[in-house]
Amino acid sequence: MADRKLPAPQANIETEAYWKAAGEGKLLVKHCTACGQAHHYPRALCPFCFSDKTEWKQCSGKGTLYSYSVMRRAPVPYAIAYVTLAEGPTMLTNMTDCDFDKLKIGQPVKVVFKPSEGGPPLPMFTSA
């Protein structure tokens, strides 16, 4: 299978640490010390209680496939997916390096990092 060209993500002050960790092969989520909930995508304020007492935590990189959609008409077919991380948050991502015909909702998945063009690698998921 050909590799799809991936545009570099745009880092900002809220996501700088996230992308730096991605460059080291680590997946981070924000954890709120006020209400105890983890969230994704990273934000300065907790989306549940609006506290600014949030901290980064490294994820196990394990999760389950919540839903997915295979884009078969693209020049290089790809699969957009929602993955629920073992730590709780659900993230919008892509499935990669696996047979899209064999994907199943609820299956275990694990993170892999795919290079982007001129930016940090992007977290995607594959069958675990």
- Distant-in-sequence contacts of 53-57, Cβ < 8 A, 24+ apart: 54/30, 55/30, 55/31, 56/17, 56/18, 56/21, 56/28, 56/29, 56/30, 56/31, 57/28, 57/29, 57/30, 57/31, 57/87
49 near Zn ion (CB under 5 A): yes
11 or 35, CB closer to Zn ion?
35
Q: Residues binding Zn ion: what is the number (CB under 5 A)?
A: 7
Does residue 92 interact with Zn ion by CB under 5 A?
no
Q: Confirm or reject binding of residue 48 to Zn ion (CB under 5 A).
A: yes
Question: Toward Zn ion, which CB reaches closer, 34 or 92?
Answer: 34
- Minimum distance from residue 91 beta carbon to Zn ion (Å): 18
